[in-house]
Amino acid sequence: MTKFGEHWEKGFRDLVIDAGIKAIGDAGLQGNEISAGYVGNMASGSLIGQEHVAALIADHMGLNPIPVTRVEAACASGGVALRQGYMAVASGMHDFVVVGGVEKMNDLDTNEVSQILGGAGDQEWELFMGATFPGLYALMAKRHMHEYGTTEEMLAAVAVKNHEHGSRNPYAQFQNKITIDMVLKSKVVADPLKMFDCSPITDGAAAVVLAPVEIAKKYQEQPIEIVASAQASDTIALHSREKLSEIKATQIAAKRAYEMAKIGPKDVDVAEVHDCFTIAEIMAIEDLGLFRKGEGGKATLEGRTGLGGEVAINTSGGLKAAGHPVGATGVKQAVELTWQLRGKAEGRQVADAEIGLAQNVGGSGATSVVHIFKRV
Amino acid sequence: MTKFGEHWEKGFRDLVIDAGIKAIGDAGLQGNEISAGYVGNMASGSLIGQEHVAALIADHMGLNPIPVTRVEAACASGGVALRQGYMAVASGMHDFVVVGGVEKMNDLDTNEVSQILGGAGDQEWELFMGATFPGLYALMAKRHMHEYGTTEEMLAAVAVKNHEHGSRNPYAQFQNKITIDMVLKSKVVADPLKMFDCSPITDGAAAVVLAPVEIAKKYQEQPIEIVASAQASDTIALHSREKLSEIKATQIAAKRAYEMAKIGPKDVDVAEVHDCFTIAEIMAIEDLGLFRKGEGGKATLEGRTGLGGEVAINTSGGLKAAGHPVGATGVKQAVELTWQLRGKAEGRQVADAEIGLAQNVGGSGATSVVHIFKRV
């Protein structure tokens, strides 16, 4: 992956090529051995006026004439691209597949970017009526607080932990530690969410190479196996959901993923979850079954989700501190977990991590993708 | 599929739902038997301000919580979505997959739409410098004329044939017949391409349901088998190509498709090819091996590609007359061929059609997808 952050000196195509070349090198391959490519990208059409980005990337990486495909599922674009790559290998159609994710977001001003990101929700029924994404997640936070007694301190504890983790990750956008007090005193964006409850606007790219396990072993000393890939959908608009304090698509995808991997939540050593807002991480660790419903906030405040806790959540710094270049996030989660399972997450290594889980959400939860990774 | 044309009274979501419900009904299924969905769509983010459209569609079709994925490859989005659906079935992950394609293009003015469609090429190096898509294809036409003696009459003959076919297809945008003289006298868009050499701006949607053949037989009396699915890429910018008078990605995808289907071009009875401009159809039928390189124009002028000719090309009316709602086109090709292979293409039926081929191109040829269909 590239460093996540503000890349004023690099264009869209530079970012993804940097990440892609690193991934292909790490896999022990030459570019001409790759037989298909996928790229997760949400909004290049609006952000940089460019569609057809898979073809653009293949061209500039010298990967022609292999088939390359862009996948879009809002903020879950990266995770969904990973799943398509997984199926391309599983179908027997391709042996070596590169999966990238990229977003270049800083070239427009924040208001324009916010409007474009609104395309992840229901433009006609939500955004056009004045809702914003911080607003939608604020509704979920309010309801979670009402139902389970979750507090603003608990929300803040997610951000504090993820900045602490980010401070250990050279690829993270933010490497500064923060305190609960700083979060609580930061500017309100959409009550109860404050500036430090929100993930930033980020440029960045990430990539991985997939292959059948037996083949991967011949090329890489430490291949990591994808033991489950599951995805589910829910209503695009929040107002159509049965409950606001959970992401049902995550619950359904997680259930399928655990069945596919033949493991349970207790077996997970390290997880990258979708903390676009602090409340999202609390819902995620509950919906994934890592903590009981309603106890995610308390567990976070008690330090049970940090390095050295029961299950390390977002060792990369998460979307909050590592940054959230939308289409890249789901692939970055796979990169971080690969490093963790290989024992190569220097400065933030979870001791003896064997099983990692990634959860990537699109919009306010209309798409959720769960992957489980295992040391081979 | 919906009728292709100007749908002022229907929104994006209405169109794709109309097509999806028809496809699921035709397959003899209930919605809750579908286990995954794909949708080809190029530019909803720019055209209607909405990304995350697979989730939007699943929601409004009542398909939650199945995994649904949007695929984008410019004008080849539909064909590429079909290929992902094919791999989802082939991977064993899903038995019943619905694949849709949709574009709602008439809500913006033509200049805005042209600029958005420019995102299919290299914005930075082609469009920003003043090129347009008619301009790019005009360059290819000029070169083809120079190399092979192709004439403006031959280009016009493509449009005349496709309007003749469109006049027989109730789903086509244009159902009026035209003459070579009308094409030649129409307004020049980008020399040598005139208005009637160009496909129109269109609203529309199409959908198909995929399943393993043995299972499909239990639900549908006339299932059609996908015997090949191949895709290739080329440079996104025209100026980087070795030759301007061919689409190399089509040649490569076709070669793979014929190998996979264990047939040759001579076995094809009916083909839907990507005639975004008349020159594109001429290059397509050559690059697919249906006619020798350089002879596509002459063959068309001689009537060898019409109904009753050697191989019927674009019985639907093609992009030219049936219309080109970008993301829907590749899926519409599959719908037309399904009707042809079932003997249900009333008024335009190719006698005894057994094998059909679809070729769908993204941009000026950076993506090409070829599918071959066969009567079971």
Q: What is the CATH number of the domain that holds B290?
A: 3.40.47.10
* A16 and A86 co-located in one domain: yes
Q: Based on the residue annotation, tell me whether A324 is a catalytic residue of this protein.
A: yes
What's the gap in Å between the CA of B230 and the closest CA on chain A?
8
The answer to whether the CB of B236 falls within 8 A of the CB of A52 is yes
* A269 and A368 co-located in one domain: yes
Q: What local confidence, expressed as pLDDT, does residue A267 receive?
A: 98
Q: What local confidence, expressed as pLDDT, does residue A145 receive?
A: 98
What lies within 8 Å, CB to CB, of A206 at 6+ separation is A1, A2, A19, A78, A100, A101, A102, A328, A331, A332, A334, A335
The answer to whether the CB of A355 falls within 8 A of the CB of A269 is yes
Backbone angles phi, psi at A90, to 5 degrees: -65, -30
Q: Last residue of a domain, which of A42, A74, A108?
A: A108
* A52 and A151 co-located in one domain: no
Q: What local confidence, expressed as pLDDT, does residue B357 receive?
A: 98
Query: Which one of A75, A94, A165, A371 is the catalytic residue?
Result: A75
Residue B38 maps to a domain: no
Residue A204 maps to a domain: no
State whether A233 and B83 contact (CB < 8 Å): no
What's the gap in Å between the CA of B319 and the closest CA on chain A?
19
Confidence of residue B305 (pLDDT cuts 50, 70, 90): very high
Q: Last residue of a domain, which of A108, A141, A160?
A: A108
Task: State what percent of residues in chain B have pLDDT above 70.
Answer: 100
3-state secondary structure of B228: strand
Q: What local confidence, expressed as pLDDT, does residue A272 receive?
A: 98
Residue B358 maps to a domain: yes
Place of tokens 């590239």: A2
- pLDDT tens per residue, chain A (376 residues)? 999 999 999 999 999 999 999 999 999 999 999 999 999 999 999 999 999 999 999 999 999 999 999 999 999 999 999 999 999 999 999 999 999 999 999 999 999 999 999 999 999 999 999 999 999 999 999 999 999 999 999 999 999 999 999 999 999 999 999 999 999 999 999 999 999 999 999 999 999 999 999 999 999 999 999 999 999 999 999 999 999 999 999 999 999 999 999 999 999 999 999 999 999 999 999 999 999 999 999 999 999 999 999 999 999 999 999 999 999 999 999 999 999 999 999 999 999 999 999 999 999 999 999 999 999 9
Chain A residue closest in CA terms to B368? A67
* A159 and A286 co-located in one domain: yes
Q: DSSP string of A125-182?
A: IIITTT--HHHHHHHHHHHHHHHH---HHHHHHHHHHHHHHHTT-TT-S------HHH
Query: Which chain B residues contact residue A122 at CB under 8 A?
Result: 50, 56
Q: What local confidence, expressed as pLDDT, does residue B308 receive?
A: 95
Q: Are strands A36-40 and A68-72 parallel, antiparallel or unpaired?
A: parallel
pLDDT in tens, B222-233: 999 999 999 999
Residue B211 maps to a domain: no
Task: State what percent of residues in chain B have pLDDT above 90.
Answer: 99
Closest listed residue to residue A325, CA positions, set A172, A198, A202: A202
Number of domains in chain B: 1
Residue A327 maps to a domain: yes
Residue A210 maps to a domain: no
* A92 and A125 co-located in one domain: no
Confidence of residue B287 (pLDDT cuts 50, 70, 90): very high
Confidence of residue B51 (pLDDT cuts 50, 70, 90): very high
* A68 and A153 co-located in one domain: no
* A167 and A48 co-located in one domain: no
Residue B278 maps to a domain: yes
Q: Based on the residue annotation, tell me whether B324 is a catalytic residue of this protein.
A: yes
State whether A52 and B367 contact (CB < 8 Å): yes
Confidence of residue B346 (pLDDT cuts 50, 70, 90): very high
What's the gap in Å between the CA of B115 and the closest CA on chain A?
9
* A103 and A128 co-located in one domain: no
Query: Which chain A residues contact residue B80 at CB under 8 A?
Result: 69
A17: containing domain: 12-108
Report how far apart, in Å, the C-alpha atoms of A255 and of each of A142, A228, A287, A329, B33 are: 26, 11, 10, 22, 19
Q: What is the arithmetic mean of pLDDT over B156-181? A: 98
Residue A216 maps to a domain: no
* A142 and A290 co-located in one domain: yes
Chain A residue closest in CA terms to B240? A59
Q: What is the arithmetic mean of pLDDT over B69-75? A: 98
DSSP A119: G
Q: What local confidence, expressed as pLDDT, does residue B179 receive?
A: 98
Q: What local confidence, expressed as pLDDT, does residue B108 receive?
A: 94
The answer to whether the CB of A354 falls within 8 A of the CB of A306 is no
State whether B50 and A235 contact (CB < 8 Å): no
State whether A232 and B59 contact (CB < 8 Å): no
Q: DSSP string of A171-207?
A: T-S------HHHHHHSPEEETTEEGGGB----BEEEE
Q: What local confidence, expressed as pLDDT, does residue B320 receive?
A: 98
Q: What local confidence, expressed as pLDDT, does residue A179 receive?
A: 98
Residue among A80, A90, A123 minimizing CB distance to B49: A123
* A261 and A323 co-located in one domain: yes
Q: What local confidence, expressed as pLDDT, does residue A313 receive?
A: 98
Q: Last residue of a domain, which of A108, A132, A150?
A: A108
Q: What local confidence, expressed as pLDDT, does residue A165 receive?
A: 98
* A93 and A129 co-located in one domain: no
Closest listed residue to residue B290, CA positions, set B311, B318, B259, B319: B311
* A41 and A181 co-located in one domain: no
Mean pLDDT of chain B, nearest integer: 97
Q: What local confidence, expressed as pLDDT, does residue A259 receive?
A: 98
